[in-house]
Amino acid sequence: MKKDFYNKKVIINCKFCKVKLRIPLFQKNVLMVTCNHCKNKFKFNGSKYRAMVATRAIVFYLLMVLSIVSIILIPACGIYLVNNKKQLWTETNKGRIKEYKEKMEADIARVAEEYSQVIKATDIDMLRKSAKNNYDQIWIERNNYNTRYALSDREKTQLKMIALAKNSAGGVHSIIREIAQMASPKNSEIDIDRVLNGVLALSVNFHMSDLTKGEDGTSTKHQTIKSLKNEATRLSSKVTNDVYVACKDLDLDEIYIGCKHLVLTTDRYGNSSTDEEMVIYKVVVVKEDVKKLTHNPFLDIYSVAEYIKVVEDNFPSLRIVSK
């Protein structure tokens, strides 16, 4: 085996052109090598080469051993040491651990007992009562037009209208006009006039399309006259209510609210047709008639509904035509 090692061939790089050369590894220490590529000559020291190979092998095996030690033995030792230390610590601190455990258990029991006492002492009825009182109070404040509780844009606008009505600086007509403008949709026709016997009447005609989506031109989102009428009634009721609330202490006797819509009219032969804006529904509230409101007009848009009288209803003559 030793003989084989000395007689085997090795591959080295030419010192000049770095080409790989295959040369025999003789026992003889120094060999003169002629490169068969660049034809240069150089010395090759066999014993140095063997020493280098042996060193490399030793280094390689040492690294292997080191790797094994670091991968397996060190963590194993670490775990062993930690466990040992833990056990030792546990042994020495047995008394303290027991003491802590007992203290913690006592704490948990005490907190649980405290909470159960709190729960037992809680009077659900009393809580319910106090919550109810709280909400009743808020309700009263809303009824009293407290701005703090004005939630919706409508409530906020109503408060502005009420404040406007209390401001006696302007003339009644201009105050009523301003309030009517706030209560009704944009582009509404607003008229204030003394009618028979000095009765002051406000008339607001609003376009249905300004209050509700889907009412564009002569087209309607409604499939039936009944649902169109329901919506017109609802919108008229809302505007009437809001104007009434703001103007109830003013010298205003009658409030007329009309709901307009573009209507396609046909002649009696059913051929020529024109778009015509018509008041399709008109209601009136006579202030004298409003005796007692069961609902707060500030919160309920239908509070004056029972006192609303219909003065114009063109629904019976309307038809919805599908395009």
Q: Does 43 bind Zn ion (CB under 5 A)?
A: no
Token pair, residue 82, equals 């930690």
Q: Which of 6, 7, 13, 16 binds Zn ion (CB under 5 A)?
A: 16
CB of 70 to Zn ion, least distance (A): 43
Q: Does 38 bind Zn ion (CB under 5 A)?
A: yes
Q: Spell out the alpha helix ranges (H) of 122-146.
A: 124-143
Alpha-carbon distance 163 to 153, whole Å? 15
Question: Of 8-16, 48-56, 181-189, 254-262, which segment contacts Zn ion by CB under 5 A?
Answer: 8-16
Q: Does 159 bind Zn ion (CB under 5 A)?
A: no
Q: Which of 35, 159, 172, 225 binds Zn ion (CB under 5 A)?
A: 35
Q: Which of 27, 34, 37, 79 binds Zn ion (CB under 5 A)?
A: 37
Burial 18-40 (b: 16+ CB within 10 A, else e): eeebeeebeeeeeeeeebeeeee
Q: Which residue has the tokens 């405290």?
A: 114
Segment holding 273, helix H or strand E: strand 273-286
CB of 22 to Zn ion, least distance (A): 13
Q: How many residues bind Zn ion (CB under 5 A)?
A: 6
Q: Which of 5, 6, 17, 217 binds Zn ion (CB under 5 A)?
A: 17
Which contacts qualify for 211-219: CB closer than 8 Å, 24 or more apart?
A: 211/185, 211/235, 211/239, 215/261, 217/262, 217/275, 218/261, 218/262, 218/263, 218/264, 218/275, 219/323
Which of 19/72 has CB closer to Zn ion?
Answer: 19
Which of 35/192 has CB closer to Zn ion?
Answer: 35
Which of 22/268 has CB closer to Zn ion?
Answer: 22
What are the residues binding Zn ion (CB under 5 A)? 14, 16-17, 35, 37-38
